[in-house]
Structure 1
Amino acid sequence: MMSDASRSTAQLSPAQLLAALDDDQRAVAEHLSGPLCVLAGAGTGKTRAITYRIAHGVATGAFAPTSVLAVTFTSRAAAELRTRLRDLGVQGIQARTFHAAALRQLSYFWPQVVGGGLPRIAEHKAPLVAEASGRLGLGADRLAIRDLAAEIEWAKVSLVTPDDYVRAAAAAGRPGAAGHDLTTVARLLAVYEDAKTERGVIDFEDVLLLTVGVLAEREDIARTIRNQYRQFVVDEYQDVSPLQQRLLDLWLGDRHDLCVVGDVSQTIYSFTGASPRHLVDFPKKHPGAQVVRLVRDYRSTPQVVSLANDVLARAGRSRSDAAVTLVAQRPSGPAASFDAYDDDEEEARGVATTISALVARGVAPSEIAILYRTNAQGEAFEQALSTAGIGYLVRGGERFFARREVREAIALLRGASRAVDPDQSMPQAVRDVLTGSGWETQPPAARGAVRERWESLDAIVKLADDLSARRGADLGAFVTELLERAAEQHAPTLEGVTLASLHAAKGLEWDAVFLAGVCEGLLPISFAETPEAVEEERRLLYVGVTRAREHLALSYARSRTPGGRASRKPSRFLDGIWPSSDGGTGVPERARRRARAQANTDALTHGDADPEVFAALSAWRADLARATSKPPYTILHDTTLVAIATAKPKTLRQLALLRGIGAAKIEAHGGAVLAIVAGERPAEALDGGA
């Protein structure tokens, strides 16, 4: 019998890989030669499709692992891709961001092309922009510097030089930046480049520009890279900029072995130079390209999917032909809620109250998010959650691996890995080490810094459990995983409600999502004046809606401050969706919430789920929670119980296909769950929960 470690890393056969996919995903995985365009809607399993495609290519011998370069837009996404491939037993695939891939190549070839080491990369643009601004007598206000830096980035990723800026910016409808006209910004661009040269530094965009220059001018180097990489995969292709596309073209040469994946309905970064044009025009640029649409939404309930489709449908003629209409695959859930409040403070308190109720019913705080258009909106929700005693995390705040307690924990674990007892399990070794740093089995009653420190350490403990269950890793391998994650900023999940802007939420998902401030002036934002800018705001709302798996609440405040003029109206994107023109329903707010809570309960316990199986699972979970002194949701979420009671799996393989059941959960509870579904009493009803 194989050990856990060998079983978790054994490469699956081609037939096993294909059997785990739906028909459309299988079409992606089976297309191993030539150009492939995947139009993948939100929640349709695009990452699964491309990882299984790579694994299938390796398993059949069509791909050599070291010849594949998978390109993503964030370090987190690249790390997730590598992790999934390792879990499928595939090693050696290069999964990197555009910048990381370019930097690796540029660093390697720079001594050959120029000589010496690569110039230092400036960590931040602000000091250089401030210097350039000062030289021109433009002042150095912090917000102005930020806006000018963003405009510099747009120009560079759009392949616009200072000499061409005025013409190109005017054609793109850009008004300049920080109150300065196009001519002034063009001058700033030139002086900024001079300042960099004088300091002997380059910026992040230069990494791509210099790599493009080397590959365009040195055919021998371009040939070396093309011989190395024979297959390319690009995720989030709708966000590609002209500069990134130019680099991709040089990597490819005259070949067409390229798979791109994207969703035009999630194009929300055009202000940074991203363009869906490359995705839409892919079949024209690559004749004979196969186009596969992924439309089956496995993430969200039919209620959430229907709302998302409605938001896009109201775009009318502005909607792209490449957009997909989602088809929900999950059981029915609660209806989306729509709430209008008197002011911002009342909205924040109302959302916090609803979140308290969800947590009491078993939804983990880490599976809840409050999303808003501007970061300034977050402060009211931070205050309301603190008052309600609910922990929260602000996405975009201090990075996980930059926290002092995390750095200290990694150092301690690194030291312990040199003298660990070989008979001790890795998760227990991690617990023993971190107990000396303040970790305990139960969270502290205190909040603030004490609770935050514990949550950081507890996230490391849970990551150890997960890695051990998936790969049977020892302590040394776990430390290596932590160091790799630190380098990639691939943080583990932390307990607490997530607060994030809609832009920052892209690529993430939660059981419950609260979309706040969905009113005119905020969504669309007041400075979205052109039809194109307004439609991008619509897509931003679509992204927010599709982050929700089950619970979705939309709200806005009629006035910004208590007692202020009630002038706000629901977003135009919700015309025909919002219950009434003034945001009200004619039902008192308290009664609406009671009715909504009951509807949520009804949808949770009925729908397509077998009520007897759901009741038996709930009773087992409650007993296990009491026996192990754990909150019920840490064992299995309510939504997972519903999925089990609906699908009624008969094997561990079928169970593993359900959302919320990872390797660690199967290891701990798989046998008991299958016994309950089969109508038997689990032999180890209270085992495996510690």
Structure 2
Amino acid sequence: MSLTTNSPGAPLHPDAILDALDPEQREVALALTGPVCVLAGAGTGKTRAITHRIAYGVRTGAYAPTSVLAVTFTARAAGEMRTRLRDLGVAGVQARTFHAAALRQLGYFWPRVVGGAPPQILEHKAAAVAEAARRLGVSVDRVAVRDLASEVEWAKSSLISAEDYEKAAASEDRPPPSGHDHQTVSRLIAAYEDVKTERGVIDFEDVLLMLADMLGSHPHVADQVRSQYRHFLVDEFQDVSPLQEYLLGLWLGDRKELCVVGDPSQTIYSFTGATQHFLLDFPRRHPGAQVIRLVRDYRSTPQVVHLANDVLRRGRVTNALELVAQRPSGPPVAFTTYDDDEAEAAGIAARAARLVADGVRPSEIAVLYRTNSQSAAFESALSDAGVSYQVRGGERFFSRKDVRDAVVLLRGAARSADPDQPMPEQVRDVLLSAGWAEKPPAARGATRERWEAMQALVGLADDLAAAAPDDAPATLEALVAELTERAAAQHAPTVEGVTLASLHAAKGLEWDAVFLAGMSEGLMPISLAETDEGVDEERRLLYVGVTRARDHLELSFARSRNPGGRATRKRTRFLDGLWPDDRRGGTGRAQRGQARARLGEADAALFDALREWRSSVARETDKPAYTVLGDATLAAIAELRPGSTAQLARINGIGPAKIDRYGQTLLSLVETAGRGA
């Protein structure tokens, strides 16, 4: 299903737009009028379907581009939608987040309705929440402030006032944050609003609330918005909060031109007020709605898709779409048990390094975990393994000083650019003074991070040049315009490094290889998930993690937190019946096949030699083979090829006693295999 044009951005014939789609996606594109509900599973091409729907509507004359408002939940997703529409030859469609669209409208109408400029937006709630707590005499630390700020956001997104909070939280069996009772939180919400009023600021929820009030109270404002936007599309509709749904209803009025897209199995933001209720209840609330299901998974291998379906099937998750894999068979999903967190981080770093050596780009590898506090161990392990990484959720790319300085240099160079010099060469010349070089620096840390950021700009320049038609080559001015647009949407270019991210932050992204780490009770599901609904959401979160992988997927957990600690952890209940049988030390046939399948040809030969050696030791000692060394340990030896006792000791499953007994023999086998290779 590839779509090619003679030149990027050239308008397409309507038939060409439809030809790029599968039957269900085509059904979406043809559903141009009336209420439409698209239930789209992970990897089923929903963005393709909805952007082609808009493009088809524009090309057939059903829509004026400026009458369409497409709303999604992240600036990155909105930017991607605009890029795809541009590539389809459609300009003028507004694709924005809820808050960006609301802020634009509020900024336009405020001077006309209220007068003057709208209030300044409070970027972060923490300071105002802390001040509210101080006024009430409530003792809080930084963690409590963060939790209380999240509770304020939940209440406002759920359209719950301070007066109604106590009753609403109790009725939903919502535990109070940081040990404070519901009555205290209710008082704090009221005090928080007072602090904002005194400071003359509003928060992001207020942007939606104030616009909704303006639309509801001033008919001429509502009429003007509705005359501008006649066709609405909302992506990720399972993440809509009551506040957002309320604003959407005011935008729509009594019209029916609404298309929503979502997946109930990916509802993972209930803590912010999101609810899948609006998606699942859409046909009842919009009589006559056309419901279309997208279940063909083009992203992941059958092995990954099978696990994803099984994760949901074994739980209480209802209304789940069963995905149907469309790609050829791939490597088996790997399951690994480690002794401790340090061993898990080192093992995953070694696997990532091997994937990079085998030709997988670092930017196509991700390590995903439940809590941000888990990232430190992987940062250290990847650094030790010499593998570049980036932490998603850290400092934004376009907020970095080195990136801002580089953009300033490029903007200045664009004013006097040599039209005869290829744009990528100009970019390289400019960025030489900003920390870029042909080869990456050997040093780690800030120096390497700066080079990688500059290299991302170089890569974007190369991509733009390659996409430009021969008769209109890309210019430095065009690159600066692209960077300006991306900065506004926080749509960063690809940085070549393994991505470290929480499962929540990974939503909407995908990689060739994904490591799901920390798959143990207490982390997955998180210990804070005390209700059935909370546990169900944690299962959906695991499903989201699984479906991020295209080809390689490995799930792991550590039996203890620290080296030498008690092995008290248990793997997550969500994988009961799915994790290969490890009752015999991990040497069952399924796990053995998986361990070998992960290795290259030379490493697999060493793995087989190590297994033969283990069999001979087992016969001599009259003990089961798995008591000598497990298959996972043999695979790690074959993969890492230790050259010393110290390196051997770092491998999971080899303690001092086994090093004394088998260490020299193992090193000899590795050395012999190395000579053979």
**What TM-score do you get using the length of structure 2 for normalisation?**
0.86
| Other structure's SS at 1:396 match | coil
Instruction: State the shift of 1:418 in Å.
Output: 0.8
Query: Separation in 1 of the partners of 2:590 and 2:226?
Result: 63
1:460 aligns with 2:461: no
- Quote the residue 1:549 is aligned against: 550
Give 2:81's aligned amino acid.
Answer: L
Query: Separation in 2 of the partners of 1:597 and 1:175?
Result: 44
Instruction: State the shift of 1:580 in Å.
Output: 2.3
Q: Any residues of structure 2 matched to 1:322-337 within 5 Å, and which?
A: 323-337=320-334
Instruction: State the shift of 1:132 in Å.
Output: 0.3
- Alpha carbons 1:38, 1:294 under 8 Å: kept: yes
Q: Deviations over 1:439-464 (max 9, x none)?
A: 22222222222211111111011111
| Other structure's SS at 1:436 match | helix
Instruction: State the shift of 1:585 in Å.
Output: 2.1
Aligned pair partner of 2:369 in 364, 369, 372: 372
Instruction: State the shift of 1:588 in Å.
Output: 11
Q: Any residues of structure 2 matched to 1:190-589 within 5 Å, and which?
A: 190-315=190-315, 318-321=316-319, 323-471=320-468, 472-580=473-581, 584-586=585-587
- Alpha carbons 1:335, 1:600 under 8 Å: kept: no
| Other structure's SS at 2:563 match | coil
- Alpha carbons 2:582, 2:588 under 8 Å: kept: no
Instruction: State the shift of 1:486 in Å.
Output: 1.1
Instruction: State the shift of 1:425 in Å.
Output: 2.3
1:153 aligns with 2:150: no
Q: Deviations over 1:222-270 (max 9, x none)?
A: 0100000010010000000000000000000001111111000000001
- Alpha carbons 1:334, 1:599 under 8 Å: kept: no
Change (3 A) 1:238 1:358: same
| Other structure's SS at 2:163 match | coil
Q: Deviations over 1:266-324 (max 9, x none)?
A: 00001110000000011111111111111111100000000000001102xx3323x21
**What TM-score do you get using the length of structure 1 for normalisation?**
0.84
Instruction: State the shift of 1:336 in Å.
Output: 0.4
Give 1:355's aligned amino acid.
Answer: A
How many percent identity over aligned positions?
66
Query: Separation in 2 of the partners of 1:568 and 1:588?
Result: 24
Query: Separation in 2 of the partners of 1:447 and 1:548?
Result: 28
Q: Deviations over 1:309-345 (max 9, x none)?
A: 0001102xx3323x21101111110000111111111
Give 2:26's aligned amino acid.
Answer: R
Query: Separation in 2 of the partners of 1:423 and 1:60?
Result: 40
Change (3 A) 1:139 1:5: same
Query: Separation in 1 of the partners of 2:496 and 2:390?
Result: 8
More off after superposition, 501-510 vs 171-180: 171-180
Instruction: State the shift of 1:399 in Å.
Output: 1.1
Change (3 A) 1:358 1:405: same
Instruction: State the shift of 1:403 in Å.
Output: 1.5
Q: Deviations over 1:648-689 (max 9, x none)?
A: xxxxxxxxxxxxxxxxxxxxxxxxxxxxxxxxxxxxxxxxxx
- Quote the residue 2:23 is aligned against: 23
Change (3 A) 1:347 1:491: same
- Quote the residue 1:649 is aligned against: none
Change (3 A) 1:208 1:590: closer
- Alpha carbons 2:308, 2:543 under 8 Å: kept: yes
Change (3 A) 1:600 1:185: farther
| Other structure's SS at 1:291 match | strand
- Quote the residue 1:65 is aligned against: 65
Change (3 A) 1:54 1:134: same
Change (3 A) 1:141 1:600: farther
- Alpha carbons 1:73, 1:236 under 8 Å: kept: yes
Query: Separation in 1 of the partners of 2:519 and 2:125?
Result: 33
Instruction: State the shift of 1:496 in Å.
Output: 0.7
Q: Deviations over 1:389-415 (max 9, x none)?
A: 111111111111111221111001101
| Other structure's SS at 2:534 match | helix
- Quote the residue 2:173 is aligned against: 173
Change (3 A) 1:103 1:438: same
Structure 2's unaligned 5+ residue stretches are 605-677
- Alpha carbons 2:334, 2:595 under 8 Å: kept: no
Query: Separation in 1 of the partners of 2:592 and 2:325?
Result: 30
Instruction: State the shift of 1:587 in Å.
Output: 5.8
Instruction: State the shift of 1:82 in Å.
Output: 0.5
1:102 aligns with 2:99: no
Instruction: State the shift of 1:470 in Å.
Output: 2.5
- Alpha carbons 2:75, 2:489 under 8 Å: kept: yes
Give 2:475's aligned amino acid.
Answer: D
Instruction: State the shift of 1:600 in Å.
Output: 9.5
| Other structure's SS at 2:261 match | strand
| Other structure's SS at 2:178 match | coil
Give 2:77's aligned amino acid.
Answer: A
Q: Deviations over 1:148-207 (max 9, x none)?
A: 000000000000001111111111211221211011100001111111111111111100
Query: Separation in 2 of the partners of 1:44 and 1:602?
Result: 36
- Quote the residue 1:47 is aligned against: 47
- Quote the residue 2:651 is aligned against: none
Query: Separation in 2 of the partners of 1:35 and 1:500?
Result: 36
- Alpha carbons 2:581, 2:588 under 8 Å: kept: no
Structure 1's unaligned 5+ residue stretches are 604-690
Instruction: State the shift of 1:139 in Å.
Output: 2.0
Query: Separation in 1 of the partners of 2:123 and 2:447?
Result: 31
- Alpha carbons 2:333, 2:553 under 8 Å: kept: yes
| Other structure's SS at 1:53 match | helix
More off after superposition, 580-589 vs 168-177: 580-589
Change (3 A) 1:28 1:591: closer
| Other structure's SS at 1:352 match | helix
Query: Separation in 2 of the partners of 1:13 and 1:396?
Result: 41
Q: Deviations over 1:582-611 (max 9, x none)?
A: 6952269997775132489999xxxxxxxx
- Quote the residue 1:14 is aligned against: 14
Q: Deviations over 1:414-434 (max 9, x none)?
A: 011111112222222212211
Equivalences, count: 597
Query: Separation in 2 of the partners of 1:157 and 1:408?
Result: 37
- Alpha carbons 2:525, 2:538 under 8 Å: kept: yes
Query: Separation in 1 of the partners of 2:460 and 2:369?
Result: 29
Is the radius of gyration larger for structure 1 or structure 2?
Answer: 2
Query: Separation in 2 of the partners of 1:329 and 1:583?
Result: 35
- Alpha carbons 2:581, 2:591 under 8 Å: kept: no
